[in-house]
Amino acid sequence: MTMKISKYWKAVVAGLVAGSGALGTAAADGVVTSSDVWVIAAAVVGGLGLTWAVPNRTAGAPKHAAPSE
- Average pLDDT for runs of 10 along the chain of length 69: 68 92 94 95 92 76 66
Residue-level pLDDT at 68: 65
Res 46: pLDDT: 93
Residue 1 CB contacts under 8 Å (≥ 6 apart), including other chains: none
pLDDT the model gives residue 2: 55
- Cβ neighbours for 37, distance < 8 A, ≥ 6 positions apart: 26
The pLDDT value recorded for residue 15 is: 93
